Amino acid sequence: MSCYVSHLECSFTGKRFEMDGVRTVSESGKPLLVRYDLERMGSEVSREDIESSSEPGFWRYSSLLPVEREEHRISLGEVMTPLVPIEHSASVLGAEPGRIIVKDESRLPTGSFKARGLALAVSMAKQLGLVHLAVPTNGNAGSALAAYASRAGIRATVLCPDNTPEINLQETMAQGADTHLVNGLIGECGRIISDGSAEVGWFSVSTLREPYRIEGKKTMGIELAEQMGWKLPDVIFYPTGGGTGIIGMWKAFAELRELGWIDCELPRMVAVQSTGCAPMVKAWELGEEFAEYWENAETVASGIRVPAALGDFLILRAVKESGGFAVAVSDDDTLEIQREIGVRDGLLLCPEGAATAAACKNAIELGLISTSDNVVLFNTATGLKYPMPRVTSRVDKDEVDYGLFQP
């Protein structure tokens, strides 16, 4: 196994840093990106090598990942997540048949795509000899950290706003993390962690505050390309919170292109947010480079309830460079389309994933994309972690009313 990392780079200034130990952000406080010697890698590894890899999940892309030794890879049985067409719902979205595909990330360990990022962050923590990790989270990042850290024999502390869904708290604790509720928002949980670093000695794996979660999320883009025969869709709708996924995929496409592994047009990247928390959409509409803090953030799609993102300028840059756009959808539209897709196609999306479907529907209505565009929607977690409508119908075993079962 070879590692092709050449250095780390400040995503804002381009300043170069050696990969010689534990790193957080650059001296200007911006995210660090991992850079590879793609020329050497391309001469030693081919697309065919990747395709014939026996690794079922994202570790098959390890030549484009920073983990140096196989023994540091922390794995929980990752899979290549399926591309599921939603044939029956396409008409509801206004698209031509066969044009809408869901990349269903719910099949990953801990039921969300946060597994990709945290698997990499924890593996790198293992490589670097870190013994205690901490994260502020609205839910899925906490359980993914918990699972991978336990697997690695590393201690994990998870701080959650006290409105975090109960199920996320429980799964996090059940997978071995010290789990705490905080009477504040995710930003305040983050502040407690950074203020406590010196005293407690933990290392923060908060979104984009270390360089490796993004490398894990990047594998969504590589995997999509491989699954589509080294081609890409016309448009990608992505539920955007901290933005690691959209930034990571855009980075992946650039790397694949530099390697000559893809030569198609790159997809238009659409950042989807909720009308209850839409800092990126606001910045996009105003043509700003950075986003302002979003006050009183509220949405059922808790994974995208992120009022401020350290990588705001990178999200906006990916959207712009790709010819995409940023849009917000209401919780009502999100829950309505979630129900439609569940009922029509048998696929229970999480609210964040359903938000991408609602955004796609709006985009087709407004003519922002064409009915014949090939679209990929990202379903970032399992719908099973979220509240669902209650079942109210009752059957009396002693006096069955068969009228109840008529269509």
Q: What does the block give as tokens for 405?
A: 């079962």
Dihedral sign of CA atoms 224, 226, 228, 234 in order:
positive
- Asked whether position 114 contacts ligand PLP by CB under 6 A, the answer is yes
- Asked whether position 356 contacts ligand PLP by CB under 6 A, the answer is no
Q: Residue 173 CB, nearest distance to ligand PLP (Å)?
A: 18
Residue whose C-alpha is closest to residue 385's, from 206, 171, 108, 238: 171
Of 66 and 279, CB closest to ligand PLP: 279
DSSP string for residues in 1-18: ----EEEEEETTT--EE-
Residue-level length of the chain? 407
210, 204 in Cβ contact below 8 A?
yes
Among 81, 157, 179, 207, binds ligand PLP (CB under 6 A): 207
Q: Residue 105 CB, nearest distance to ligand PLP (Å)?
A: 8
Query: How many whole angstroms separate alpha carbon 381 and alpha carbon 386?
Result: 10
Q: Interface residues for ligand PLP in 238-277 (CB under 6 A)? A: 239-245
Of 241 and 276, CB closest to ligand PLP: 241
Binding mask 59-88 for ligand PLP (x = CB under 6 A): ------------------------------
Count of Cβ atoms closer than 10 Å to residue 22 Cβ: 11
Query: How far is residue 163 from each of residues 138, 168, 184, 185, measured CA to CA in Å?
Result: 8, 11, 9, 9
Among 78, 104, 345, 352, binds ligand PLP (CB under 6 A): 352
Residue in the block written with tokens 């067409």: 85
Of 42 and 311, CB closest to ligand PLP: 311
- Asked whether position 350 contacts ligand PLP by CB under 6 A, the answer is yes
Of 186 and 363, CB closest to ligand PLP: 186
Among 62, 157, 334, 380, binds ligand PLP (CB under 6 A): 380
Terminal alpha carbon distance of the chain:
59
Q: What does the block give as tokens for 250?
A: 């855009």
Name the site residues for ligand PLP (rule: CB under 6 A).
Answer: 112, 114, 140, 207, 217, 239-245, 303-304, 350, 352, 380-381
